[in-house]
Amino acid sequence: MYLKKLTLSNFKNHSESDFQFGKRVNCFVGDNGSGKTNILDAIHYLSLSKSYFNKIDSQNIKFNEDFFIIKGDFIKAELQSSIQCSLQKGEQKILKYNGKKYKRFSDHIGSFPIVVISPTDSNIILDGSDVRRKYIDSSIAQYNMQYLKNLIDYNKVLKQRNALLKSFSEKGYFDKLTLETFDDQLIKFGTEIFKERKHFLERLISVFKKYYVIIAGEKEKVNIVYKSQLDEDTFKNVLRNSLSKDRINHYTNVGVHKDDIVFEMNNYLIKKIGSQGQQKSFLIALKLAQFDFLEKQMGFKPTLLLDDIFDKLDDKRIEKIISFAKNEFFGQVFITDTHKERTEIILNKSRIEYTMYKIENGRVI
Ligand SMILES: Nc1ncnc2c1ncn2[C@@H]1O[C@H](COP(=O)(O)OP(=O)(O)O)[C@@H](O)[C@H]1O
Ligand SMILES: [Mg+2]
């Protein structure tokens, strides 16, 4: 699978930019703020119908314009598909597959899988558990459409259940039967989500550890631990035990929306003890494991976006990552870098063929 052609209209700082891409390594070089990462983000839109960086779609329309259009032609199994994502100010975002509008964006997720490695990923380590859940969820959703549907349904029922708890307290009554119909739904979707997260992480962890050793050596021991209340008891039981607390808080205190994925180094939180370099290696290993896993699930290689990956990484680690590209571990790769010469030296040294685009002020030079 690869992206052959990309056209941006009024997307962030790009008024009109056109690209023809090579099947393998494509680099965007240019000064800070020139619009390199914005191109990666447009590719992300085509794959997952949203931005990797700014979840407020309307802010991705070029300043003083009223729409953006991102168009891309993908080749998959020798078939060409044209994807278009567009937004007109004040209207709903539109996603089209060969000219046909999607009713639900979730139907598109996974068609053109993607893995991103970006400096902003440090959030996954540093921020709250919701960010890690979102990361795991979006990884699973790319190969398991049912998972995404369960997740959407779970969140809907959760909201309804919380609203019901609130109305019980406001109206001063309690209706056990009505609550139980919501509980049954929550248990059904939640248990499926729990099983799939567990299954995914169990298989991801061993691959992740392997990549960490390749990138950073064996000096420190890393681990990922999936923590869920459903590990201790069935969802039905934990819900029952939490009922009186839930009624006081008007909130569902237990369930997979409380899961965490704990990132450890030498049995401590990597957030607390890992150096920046160790955290960066941890995240790269995690993303490579995700890539590896997705490929095995789908039977083809996801698109890989490497945003400023050469920055703050020593030569040895860069060489390791580039050797993956050289050994055809990756399929199509998009790389951004502020230093044209650095990228050229690294890629030439490894004798990797690449296409390079110089970006200036939201334009291809
Ligand atoms: N909606 C927008 N309209 C116009 N410019 C934007 C918009 N959003 C971001 N930008 C501009 O894009 C630039 C950053 O682009 P980016 O791709 O992140 O740069 P880099 O080349 O450093 O990766 C900034 O100058 C920013 O002002
Ligand atoms: Mg950038």
pLDDT number for residue 327: 85
Name the band, by pLDDT with cuts 50, 70 and 90, for residue 223.
very high
69-112 confidence digits (pLDDT tens): 999 999 999 999 999 999 999 999 999 999 999 999 999 999 99
Q: 202 pLDDT exceeds 80?
A: yes
Report yes or no on 204 lying in a domain: yes
Tell me the C-alpha distance between 197 and 44, whole Å: 23
Mutational pocket test of ligand 1: of 9, 10, 13, the residue with most ligand atoms within 8 Å of the beta carbon? 13
pTM (global) more than 0.85: yes
What CATH number is given to the structural domain containing 137? 1.20.1050.90
Q: Which ligand is nearest to the CA of 13?
A: 1
Q: How many domains does the chain have?
A: 1
Question: How much is the average pLDDT of 122-139?
Answer: 97
In the chain, % of residues over pLDDT 70: 100
Name the band, by pLDDT with cuts 50, 70 and 90, for residue 323.
confident
pLDDT number for residue 312: 77
Report yes or no on 324 lying in a domain: no
Q: 41 pLDDT exceeds 80?
A: yes
Those residues with Cβ within 8 angstroms of residue 329's Cβ, 6 or more apart along the chain or in another chain: none
C-alpha neighbours within 13 Å on the C-beta side of residue 144 = 20
Report yes or no on 322 lying in a domain: no
Mutational pocket test of ligand 1: of 10, 17, 19, 38, the residue with most ligand atoms within 8 Å of the beta carbon? 38
Those residues with Cβ within 8 angstroms of residue 250's Cβ, 6 or more apart along the chain or in another chain: 162, 165, 166, 169
Report yes or no on 269 lying in a domain: yes
- For residue 33, how far is its CA from the centre of ligand 1 (angstroms)? 6
231-283 confidence digits (pLDDT tens): 999 999 999 999 999 999 999 999 999 999 999 999 999 999 999 999 999 99
The torsion of the CA quartet 5, 10, 12, 16, rounded to 10 degrees, works out to 50
Q: Strand runs (DSSP E) across the chain, as ranges?
A: 2-11, 14-20, 25-29, 67-76, 79-88, 94-97, 100-101, 114-117, 222-227, 260-265, 268-269, 303-306, 333-337, 354-360, 363-364
160-198 confidence digits (pLDDT tens): 999 999 999 999 999 999 999 999 999 999 999 999 999
Report yes or no on 56 lying in a domain: no
Length of the chain in residues, anyone?
Answer: 365
Spell out which residues line ligand 1, taking CB within 6 angstroms.
12-13, 30, 32-38, 59-63, 336
pLDDT number for residue 21: 98
Report yes or no on 165 lying in a domain: yes
